[in-house]
Amino acid sequence: MADFSGDYMKLAMKHFTIVLLVSLCCGCSTLSATDAPIQRYSNDPLEGLNRKVYSYNRTADKFVLRTVAKAYDKVVPKPAKRGVRHFFANLGEPIHALNNLLQGKYDRALDSVFRFAINSTVGMLGVFDVARRYDVHPAKEDFGQTLAAWGLGPGPYLVLPFAGPSNLRDGIGTITDGVIVYPINEVSDSRGTRNTLFVLDVLDLRAGLLGSDELLESQLDSYAFLKQAYEQNRVRAIYDGNPPAQEEEDLDF
């Protein structure tokens, strides 16, 4: 918490790559149905400002992040990239465990604890996903999903600088997960080491998106497309991939 602005920049850039990766690849996250109704993210009162921020983010990505990610993807061997991805995914397990616990998903919380324990030891600090051999798969949860499970609506749609699509609820959740429990900060006391790990994490995430760039660029209105993709992903994530029938109908607008 000592360097909030620095943590925000790191968190924002990582959030940007995760949102694109999950939304464009139609990844369906976690969470079983809650009793709280989940609203659609059609509330976009700041669309004019959001579109300007979106355009800025896209330009920064095109000329900086994507260019470096292409070099990373070309130079680093696939096994090494897989190990890097597993390592950083393992660092997120405590956050998943905590949010599962806060939502009363005790079995899933235990799964996250088990994954972190065995992958951090037998899996050599998470480089190898040993837990999958025991059929224990990631149970991803974030604080935005926790707030939704507690009944908080999404609020207005937002496009955050360097971070991309979000909303008021998920923005609060992202800051809570990232700034208060940012896992890379716990790896080393050395700022240089933490910054290096952060860059590697973002590059690996962005490299995983390169195959989806064409899909986004082919859209007549990429802003609207990504907003809808984000909405669909978050609703399904909140309901563990099984939203109620009415929500499914709303997603197909």
Q: Tens of pLDDT along 166-189?
A: 999 999 998 888 776 667 766 777
Residues 6+ apart with CB under 8 A from 102: 143, 146
pLDDT of residue 34: 41
Average pLDDT on 11-29 reads 54
Cα 162 to Cα 20, 57, 60, 156, distances in angstroms: 12, 6, 8, 18
Distance in angstroms (rounded) separating the CA atoms of residues 112 and 123: 14
Phi-psi bin for 142: left (phi > 0), alpha (psi -120 to 50), beta? beta
Long-range contacts (CB closer than 8 Å, 24 or more residues apart) made by 184-191: 184/10, 184/91, 185/7, 186/91, 187/91
Q: Write down the pTM of the prediction.
A: 0.81
Amino acid identity of residue 240, one-letter, is D
Distance in angstroms (rounded) separating the CA atoms of residues 168 and 166: 7
- Strand (E) or helix (H) holding 157: strand 157-160
With bands split at pLDDT 50, 70 and 90, how would you rate the model's confidence at 43?
confident
Per the listing, tokens 């976009």 go with 44
Write down the mean pLDDT value for the chain: 83
Question: Does position 39 have pLDDT exceeding 50, yes or no?
Answer: no
Question: Does position 197 have pLDDT exceeding 50, yes or no?
Answer: yes
Tokens representing residue 105 in the block: 């998903």
Per the listing, tokens 């990232």 go with 178
Question: Does position 24 have pLDDT exceeding 90, yes or no?
Answer: no
Do residues 60 and 207 make contact, with C-beta atoms less than 8 angstroms apart? no
pLDDT of residue 164: 86
pLDDT of residue 211: 86
pLDDT of residue 38: 40
Average pLDDT on 80-105 reads 95
**What percent helix, strand, coil does the chain show, rounded to 5?**
65, 5, 30
